[in-house]
């Protein structure tokens, strides 16, 4: 079991590092590269550099609010029945 946990941890770290590197290159370095360079073919337009994290944040915040709401409703039902 310990080996599986290490493998999952390594996989999550590798994925996180890959996403961070891709996003950092996309946002910080790519604006200084000429528009006709072949590397621009590997990246989405710059507008998505803001839209994707904002959308992900809104979705995450929404799920968090729904989760907290469900927990509050369940705890309120337990208090009424007890």
At 34, is the pLDDT very low, low, confident or very high (cuts 50, 70, 90)?
A: very high
pLDDT of 8-26, one tens digit each? 999 999 999 999 999 999 9
Kindly compute the dihedral angle of the four CA atoms of residues 49, 23, 43, 39, in this order, to the nearest 10 degrees: 130
Q: What does the domain layout of the chain look like in residue ranges? A: 1-43, 44-81
Structure token pair of residue 43: 């990246």
How far is residue 3 from each of residues 6, 8, 9, 16, measured CA to CA in Å?
Answer: 5, 9, 10, 20
Answer yes or no: is pLDDT of 82 > 70. Answer: no
């Amino acid at each position: 079991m310990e080996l599986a946990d290490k493998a999952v941890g390594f996989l999550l770290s590798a994925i996180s590092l890959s996403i961070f590197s891709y996003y950092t290159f996309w946002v910080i370095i790519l604006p200084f590269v000429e528009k006709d360079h072949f590397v621009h073919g590997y990246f989405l337009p710059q507008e998505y550099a803001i839209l994707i994290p904002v959308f992900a944040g809104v979705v995450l915040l929404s799920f968090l609010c729904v989760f907290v709401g469900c927990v509050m409703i369940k705890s309120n039902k337990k208090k009424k029945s007890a």
